[in-house]
A and B are shown apart, each in its own frame.
Chain A
Amino acid sequence: MGFKTFIQGWPVYRQLTGTDPLGRGAAAQSARSAELAPRTETADGMARSVCPYCAVGCGQRVFHSDGKVTQIEGDPDSPISRGRLCPKGSASKSLVTSPLRQTKVRYRRPYATEWEDLDLDVALDMIADRILAARAETWEDVDDEGRPLNRTLGISSLGGATLDNEENYLIKKLFTAMGALQIENQARI
């Protein structure tokens, strides 16, 4: 860096020689300030999404860089929300990046007083075994009059209103095929 460059970047020099003799505006702008750009402009990409809270269905723009969400804000194109979000929708970035989010499988053994770790594949396998055992134990083939029942009342499930249609579809399809009738979600609550 030559002296000239240096001196021109120096606020007092700019103040004395420029348009801002009191050094309150143009001369006082720091290098950082001069280079500021909104992180939405420098993001790797933007996904068009929908708010996960209530059912109004406000449009969201999800900006991300290096595999991390850097900003979520309203989608001005949406005819539903016109770019606006409520406090919950506005907090969506904090929701998905919250330090309280669980990212590891947790397992509580019967009668245990603490959680322990468990491998995801092992957990999936254990759950499958338990489903099969519960089915075998509680399966009802036919009713008293010999009419088909094809079901287990030993398995229950609750939830779905926060999930995608595609997910609910697979859940209902799989549970129906395994005879698990007792499926419910927030629509009843």
Chain B
Amino acid sequence: MPDANSLYGPLDPAPDAGWVDAPPRMGFFTDTSVCIGCKACEVACKEWNDVPDSGFDLLGMSYDNTGALTANSWRHVAFIEQPRPAGHRTPPFAGDPTGPATSPASAAVGAVTAPDTGTNPGLPPGQPEAAARMAAGPEFLGMPGTAPPGRGTGVESRTDFRWLMMSDVCKHCTHAACLDVCPTGSLFRTEFGTVVVQEDICNGCGYCISACPYGVIDQRKGDGRAWKCTLCYDRIGAGMTPACAQACPTESIQYGPLDELRERAATRVAALHERGVPEARLYGHDPTDGVGGDGAFFLLLDEPEVYGLPPDPVVTTRDLPKMWKRAGLAALAMAAAAVAAFAGGSS
């Protein structure tokens, strides 16, 4: 265990944030290998947390019309169509009179259909090339040309196909830069080790937005405040399951003590490897990674980039402690002055 109040490396964040006798750290394990892309998580989250709509736009990113995690979408199901084999399955289109795959081209078109989500920065327009690369996976053979889909040349007929689905969410990092930079104390670490924006405190300064290494936290236009997944702080405080995990039909989203979830995830990966799914891997589970491990981690079936996740996130406040000392002193001086003023005023 590193020093208390560390901003880097493995630690148990709730005691580190001053919670005495904190309950076990709670989190999500999202197993994308059983996700059916139904989006119940998106809806259940919005119902419970009263999150507004994020626009009525057809994005053309497969069945994803949400686009990304924003202030108005705290769960986001990504859909990736890929001309790749899916583990042990018989190739879906073996023997059919197919031509080359279109999924990279479709993904490229979809990537530039960013809608106005009513949030800021909301959904930045994607990069067509990157989207195409992600859709094709490691076998990507170059950006499809401008010819209509189906008229490409030089690529063999598609036989393999897989449709990846993944419900993304705030990672509730062990070292949460959003929290560390929040000047108002709105973002705080709960006793469950989760990271929550307190809507009664947030003043909409927006520092947290650029601090997040995953691009999760976002500002709601018109409201100005920052919003994101709270891991249903109110529900878990009462011993309930967060709304998304409660709804999830196939237990793709699992909620529980992080230690238990990590064990379960390791077992699941091993089982998948045994069943001939070598591409199964965990993401965000490692306490030694750049954010000290995530409170919400994932089992993926491809590289993180394919799902729009940063491959190697690092807490943006890694070097903050040095700077903090000076800021802390200044704050202390101001606080002392304020207390004196108050005491003086009431006497």
Direct interface between A and B, CB < 8 A? yes
- Residues of A at the B interface (CB closer than 8 Å) are 3, 7, 11-13, 16, 18-33, 36-41, 71-74, 76, 83-87, 89-91, 93-94
Q: How far is the CB of B321 from chain A (nearest CB, A)?
A: 9
The distance in angstroms between the C-alpha atoms of A94 and B50, with both chains bound, is: 10
Residue of chain B at shortest CB distance from A94 = B47
Q: Tell whether, in the assembled complex, residue A33 and residue B189 are in contact, meaning their CB atoms are under 8 Å apart.
A: no
Q: Tell whether, in the assembled complex, residue B18 and residue A27 are in contact, meaning their CB atoms are under 8 Å apart.
A: yes
Q: Tell whether, in the assembled complex, residue A84 and residue B247 are in contact, meaning their CB atoms are under 8 Å apart.
A: yes
Are A28 and B47 CB-contacts (below 8 A) given A33-B198, A73-B246? no
Query: Contact check: which of A24, A39, A71 meets B189 at CB < 8 Å?
Result: A24
Q: How far is the CB of A42 from chain B (nearest CB, A)?
A: 10
Query: Contact check: which of B19, B20, B233, B246 meets A83 at CB < 8 Å?
Result: B246
Q: Is the CB of B109 closer than 8 A to any CB of chain A? A: no
Q: How far is the CB of B100 from chain A (nearest CB, A)?
A: 33
Q: Tell whether, in the assembled complex, residue B200 and residue A85 are in contact, meaning their CB atoms are under 8 Å apart.
A: no
Q: How far is the CB of A155 from chain B (nearest CB, A)?
A: 39
Q: How far is the CB of A109 from chain B (nearest CB, A)?
A: 34
Q: How far is the CB of A3 from chain B (nearest CB, A)?
A: 6
Q: List 7 A-B contacts (CB under 8 A).
A: A19-B20, A24-B189, A26-B18, A28-B188, A40-B240, A73-B246, A91-B43
Q: Determine the chain A residues whose CB is within 8 A of the CB of B205 once the complex forms.
A: none
Q: Tell whether, in the assembled complex, residue A85 and residue B247 are in contact, meaning their CB atoms are under 8 Å apart.
A: yes
7 shortest interchain CB distances as A-B pairs: A25-B17, A20-B18, A19-B18, A28-B188, A25-B189, A26-B18, A28-B185
Query: Contact check: which of A12, A25, A37, A90 meets B40 at CB < 8 Å?
Result: A90
Q: How far is the CB of A86 from chain B (nearest CB, A)?
A: 5
Are A25 and B14 CB-contacts (below 8 A) given A86-B38, A91-B47? yes
Query: Contact check: which of A19, A28, A36, A87 meets B43 at CB < 8 Å?
Result: A87
Are A87 and B38 CB-contacts (below 8 A) given A25-B17, A26-B17? yes
The distance in angstroms between the C-alpha atoms of A32 and B186, with both chains bound, is: 11
Q: Determine the chain B residues whose CB is within 8 A of the CB of A94 once the complex forms.
A: 47
Q: Tell whether, in the assembled complex, residue A24 and residue B249 are in contact, meaning their CB atoms are under 8 Å apart.
A: no
